[in-house]
Amino acid sequence: MPSEPITIAPSGFTPLDQAAPKTSGPRHKGRWVLLACLALFVLAMLFLFSARSLQIAVIAEVPADVSVSGFSLPLGKRYLLLPGEYEVGAKAEGYETLVTTVTVDDRDSQTVELTLQALPGRVSIDSTPQGASVTVDGASVGKTPLVDLPLEEGAHQIRLEEARHLPLEQTLQVTGRDVQQALALQLAPAWAMVTIDSTPGGASILLDGEAAGQTPATIEVLQGEHQLMLQLPSYADWQKSLRIKASEDQDLGQVSLLPAPGELG
């Protein structure tokens, strides 16, 4: 019995090196990471070898914040910087912000001092009585009460003047740095009390030609020299020169008025 012919069908062929997709193994990734770390290490060493040390000292009563333009490596108050020009800034509460240019040269170590300028203080000045004229260091600044008057840090001469009171002057140490300070002053009177009576009573009192009351009376008289006069119809004028010292009262007693000429009999 004759055998049936066998048919052989062709099949696809794939080479072994193309049978699976290529993948980069961990070994390749690790190599790139190592190369990157090595490059960073080299750059860091070059920076450390070329960098110079700059110490920034800020003169202020409170801690300050310091900023440096460009790349720098802060180490406490020191900064590692490559030679060149840098913009250095410092700011602190109560002070003006300071920005300056600093040149880092080839010296291994440098120091730069930044002195911050304090903001003015805010001073309020009041007096009893109010309305006194105020001068600060000889310059007029207004009348009391004054609120938040800006004054630079340091000692200042404050003077108050009011017409019926003695001038008052004192030194004020201003803290500055936007700190508020208040000054309340009591002005001493620049007058004295003068008591006078007359016989007969009811005489008009004239002080430097101005009416000041009738006897008996106690009147305020400013310090200095004055002319006091008593006038009463049918009686001769009576007058006296006064030298008044502040707060030293005077009692002139009872003055006997004489009849005016032509009124006798």
Domain positions in the chain = 33-115, 121-186, 191-256
- Identify whether the C-beta of residue 159 lies closer than 8 Å to the C-beta of residue 185: no
pLDDT at 1: 47
In this structure, whether the domain defined by 33-115 belongs to CATH 2.40.50.140 is answered with no
Describe the strand order of the beta sheet including 180-186 as a list of residue ranges: 146-151, 121-128, 180-186
Fold of the domain built from segment(s) 191-256 = Immunoglobulin-like (2.60.40)
Same fold, 33-115 and 121-186: yes
CA dist 130 and 124 (Å) reads: 13
Size of the chain in residues: 265
Token reading at 52: 């110079």
- Identify whether the C-beta of residue 116 lies closer than 8 Å to the C-beta of residue 56: no
Q: What is the pTM of this model?
A: 0.70
- Give every CB contact of residue 136 below 8 A, 6+ residues apart in sequence: 149, 151, 156, 157, 158, 159
pLDDT at 76: 85
pLDDT at 33: 81
In this structure, whether the domain defined by 121-186 belongs to CATH 3.40.50.300 is answered with no
Helix and strand tally (H, E) in the chain?
1, 21
CA dist 68 and 104 (Å) reads: 12
pLDDT at 262: 73
β-pair partners for 206: 211, 229
- Identify whether the C-beta of residue 88 lies closer than 8 Å to the C-beta of residue 99: yes
pLDDT at 77: 84
pLDDT at 43: 66
The H or E element containing residue 157 is strand 154-162
- Given a cut of 70, the residues of the chain with pLDDT beneath it are 1-27, 43-44, 47-48, 263-265
